[in-house]
C-alpha cells in the first residue's frame, strides 16, 4: 500500500494535501483497495460550508457504497471533474488524478489532529 509522507490522513481513510489555506482530499490507497472497483463518485456539496467529519459525498463500488467524511471544516470549492466520466481514477491513482474535492480550510489548526504517514501505516497494519 502506498502511503505518501507529504499527506495527512484520517482514521476513516481519507487523505489531505494542504496547499496554504486550501486542501485537496481523496481516499487512500488502502481504502480504494478495500472497496474494490469504484463505479461512481457522488459529491453534491459544491459551494457548501461543512464541519469537520461531516459527510461530503459517497463512493460506490461494485459491492458497496461508502460515505466520504470531510477531514477539515471548510467550503467545498471544487469537485474533480474527471471523476464523473472516470471514477476508476480513484482506484488507479488515488493520490493524484483520483483526488475528489478541493476546499478552503476554515481552521488550519484542525490539521494538527490528523494522522501522519507513519501513524496511518500503523492504523492499517502496514
The pLDDT value given to residue 63:
87
Whether the Cβ atoms of residue 49 and residue 77 lie closer than 8 Å to each other: no
pLDDT tens digits, 22-74:
999 999 999 999 999 999 999 999 999 999 999 999 999 998 999 999 999 99
Domain range 8-124, CATH architecture = Beta Barrel (2.40)
Whether the Cβ atoms of residue 78 and residue 100 lie closer than 8 Å to each other: no
The pLDDT value given to residue 117:
97
Instruction: Round to whole Å and give the CA distance between 22 and 76.
Output: 10
* DSSP single-letter state for residue 116: P
| Cβ neighbourhood burial of 2 (10 Å; 0-12, 13-18, 19+) | exposed
pLDDT tens digits, 61-112:
998 999 999 999 999 999 999 999 999 999 999 999 999 999 999 999 999 9
**Residue 45, SS3?**
coil
Whether the Cβ atoms of residue 98 and residue 89 lie closer than 8 Å to each other: yes
> Residue 65 pairs with which residues in a beta bridge?
60
- Largest alpha-carbon pair distance within the chain? 37
Instruction: Round to whole Å and give the CA distance between 35 and 59.
Output: 9
Amino acid at each position: 500500500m502506498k502511503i505518501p509522507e507529504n499527506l495527512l490522513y484520517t482514521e476513516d481513510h481519507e487523505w489531505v494535501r494542504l496547499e496554504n489555506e486550501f486542501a485537496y482530499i481523496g481516499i487512500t490507497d488502502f481504502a480504494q483497495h478495500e472497496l474494490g472497483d469504484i463505479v461512481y463518485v457522488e459529491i453534491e456539496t459544491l459551494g457548501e460550508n461543512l464541519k469537520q467529519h461531516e459527510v461530503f459525498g459517497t463512493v460506490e463500488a461494485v459491492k458497496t457504497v461508502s460515505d466520504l467524511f470531510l477531514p477539515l471544516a471548510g467550503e467545498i470549492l471544487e469537485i474533480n471533474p474527471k471523476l464523473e466520466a472516470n471514477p476508476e481514477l480513484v482506484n488507479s491513482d488515488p493520490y493524484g488524478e483520483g483526488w475528489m474535492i478541493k476546499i478552503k480550510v476554515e481552521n488550519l489548526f484542525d490539521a494538527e489532529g490528523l494522522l501522519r504517514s507513519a501513524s496511518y501505516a500503523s492504523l492499517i497494519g502496514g
